[in-house]
């Protein structure tokens, strides 16, 4: 469940009002239609208010629940699975299992902790009368401030978020420019952990299932083996719980992980995808984003997203690391359909770069001349 950005809420409000006005015009007076539109808008805004506050409150429930579920699988591994693996494999094999599981556990805990406590990135406050809007920028009435390129207002956090992807109740935080990497790595490592635990539990779960529901079909050798495992405590309800939980979470998380792999490969966020997606439009018409001064290849997008550009190695992904992503979250490169490129930068980024700080923004004059549409226009591509 993800909250709609403010732009979509305005569109929904206008759409509902237009539908009432159109459908009720033949049979209702102007005064009646006005009252019905007011009622519909009140209901829509009430629903949005309830949904936003519910999303916020769910964060206080889902984060402890996530820690409990992760902790329960860790306890199941130490209590049942580790002794079973130690008994069924060699010393070297058991050592490999121990190293692998603890490497996974450290990365899962680290990335989950970081995505919950790391700010997604917020733009500086800039009033409209203090600066001039640059190409791609807009104004947020909620924050009374300029919204840089790719920035969206979160109705749950009540703030504008740089390169906002969505608000996640499972981390009680927005996923944006500075913590998107932690969110993705947490999903990836947790999914690998679910696959691993599910694979270890699968034989034990199937033996327990056959023992309870297909006892007559078991051979004497199978019965002896199952009794041995039962006496050792390897076929208890803990195994069933761990198997069912990891399979269910693994399937759901795998779909979400695949979705974000696709988005990162495209250089998009979830909001940007839905904001520009229409079934009747070709895939090539959707914009593709990247940081400034970078090649728009899939490999480069992944290196930028994972933070392993600029001389950093893959160990920054395989081991816990806290480096920030490249760029300032407010400057992005755009490529037009005719092959030209330019850079869109926010007003604050432009002013900081002119004073000697901030990320490179490119030539403002060349950008203005090559861009004549908002950032989500289909005639241009973000690279």
Q: Which burial class, exposed, middle or buried, applies to 67 when counting CB atoms under 10 A from its CB (0-12, 13-18, 19+)?
A: middle
Angle at 123 between CA 287 and CA 107, to 5 degrees: 75
CA dist., res. 53 & res. 231, Å (int)? 50
Question: Which residues are catalytically annotated?
Answer: 168
Distances (CA, A) of 149 to 33, 165, 303, 314, 315: 38, 13, 21, 29, 31
Q: Where are the domains of the chain?
A: 68-121+178-330
Q: Which pLDDT score, from 0 to 100, does residue 50 have?
A: 59
What's the pLDDT at 284? 46
**Alpha-carbon distance 235 to 226, whole Å?**
8
Written in H, E and C, the secondary structure of 308-349 is CCCCCCCHHHHCCCCCCCCCCCCEEEEEECCCCEEEEECHHH
How many residues are recorded in the chain? 383
Mean pLDDT by 10 residues, the chain (383 residues): 47 54 54 60 58 71 95 94 90 96 97 96 75 67 82 89 93 94 97 96 84 70 73 79 96 96 91 70 47 61 86 88 84 59 55 40 31 37 43
What is the pLDDT at residue 13? 55
Residues 6+ apart with CB under 8 A from 254: 191
């Amino acid at each position: 469940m993800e909250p709609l950005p403010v732009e979509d809420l305005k569109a929904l409000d206008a759409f509902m009002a237009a539908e009432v006005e159109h459908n009720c015009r033949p049979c209702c007076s102007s005064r009646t239609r006005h009252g019905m539109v007011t009622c519909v808008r009140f209901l829509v805004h009430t629903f949005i208010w309830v949904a936003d506050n519910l999303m916020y409150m769910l964060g206080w429930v889902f984060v402890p629940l996530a820690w409990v579920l992760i902790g329960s699988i860790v306890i199941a591994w130490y209590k049942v699975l580790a002794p079973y693996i130690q008994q069924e494999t060699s010393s070297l094999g058991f050592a490999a299992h121990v190293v692998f599981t603890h490497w996974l556990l450290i990365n899962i805990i680290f990335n989950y902790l970081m995505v919950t406590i790391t700010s997604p990135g917020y733009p500086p406050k800039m009033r409209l009368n203090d600066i001039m809007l640059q190409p791609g920028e807009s104004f947020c009435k909620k924050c009374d401030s300029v919204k840089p390129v790719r920035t969206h207002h979160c109705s749950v956090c009540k703030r504008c978020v740089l390169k906002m992807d969505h608000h996640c109740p499972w981390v009680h935080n927005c996923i944006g420019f500075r913590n998107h990497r932690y969110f993705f790595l947490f999903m990836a490592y947790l999914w690998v952990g679910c696959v691993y635990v599910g694979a270890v539990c699968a034989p034990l779960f199937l033996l327990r299932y056959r023992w309870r529901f297909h006892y007559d079909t078991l051979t004497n050798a199978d019965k002896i083996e199952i009794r041995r495992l039962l006496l050792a405590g390897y076929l208890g309800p803990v195994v069933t719980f761990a198997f069912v939980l990891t399979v269910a979470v693994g399937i759901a998380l795998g779909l979400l992980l695949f979705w974000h792999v696709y988005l990162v490969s495209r250089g998009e966020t979830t909001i940007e995808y839905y904001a520009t997606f229409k079934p009747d439009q070709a895939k090539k018409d959707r914009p593709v984003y990247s940081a400034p001064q970078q090649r728009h290849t899939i490999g480069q997008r992944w290196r930028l997203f994972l933070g392993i550009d600029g001389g950093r190695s893959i160990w920054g992904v395989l081991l816990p690391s806290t480096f920030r992503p490249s760029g300032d979250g407010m400057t992005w490169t755009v490529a037009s359909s005719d092959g030209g490129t330019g850079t869109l930068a926010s007003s604050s980024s432009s002013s900081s770069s002119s004073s000697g700080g901030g990320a490179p923004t490119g030539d403002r004059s060349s950008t203005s001349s090559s861009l004549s549409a908002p950032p989500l226009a289909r005639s241009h591509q973000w690279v």
